[in-house]
Amino acid sequence: MARDRSTGAPVLVIGLGRFGAAAADKLEQLGREVLVIDTDAMLVQKWATRVTHVVQADATDLDALRQIGGQDFDVAIMAVGSSVEGSVLITANLVDLGVSQIWAKAMSKSHGTILERIGANHVIYPEAESGDRIAHLVSGQVLDFIEFDDELSLAKLRPPEVARGGALQGLGLRRRYGITVVGVKSHGAPFVYAGAATEVGADDFIVVSGTASDIDAFARLPR
């Protein structure tokens, strides 16, 4: 595959566990060319008709990665998490091959720190992130929740009383609660982005942004 530094560049995915398989499948749906590597012959056979290219190979072996053209990729997802040693070797190999964007799965903060130190640009904690989202949903306060980092999260919820009763500009939600109403969805109407004059009804859904702690506190306010 020819090296392409555009946002549509081919992606190398290493590991066909749940995380790697889901990433490869979604990338295919988005029209990206994907090369997937796994050591398990049965998984490789299963995915042979679902992704652009799938190869049985050991990515901890630098020569094996070179033989399948790993050096031709600018973007790679290292989705092996069950073996810390294996994930470290694979990430180091990707660095040695000159892959400029390495997204690496980690099972713990210490694991992630190691991956960052050897050259991973982005470390992902899928189990922790999934667990955090589920905890917010199970709490019953929000209908959907996405945490981007410590400073920014998005949540969908029913509006507390303080978000109703007038135009958003006059309610002072950012000043009082640290959150911003991003948009509103009324029954039978399309989603609309919120503006200063937007008014929220009791039966509406709202999407708010803020820190996770501010959103949690806001979601617990009386309805």
Structural domains of the chain, with CATH: 11-127 (3.40.50.720), 135-219 (3.30.70.1450)
At 139 the pLDDT is 64
At 131 the pLDDT is 65
At 135 the pLDDT is 67
At 61 the pLDDT is 96
d(CA 3, CA 133) in angstroms, rounded, equals 36
Residue bearing tokens 């979601």: 219
d(CA 27, CA 215) in angstroms, rounded, equals 31
Report residues of the chain scoring pLDDT below 50.
1-6
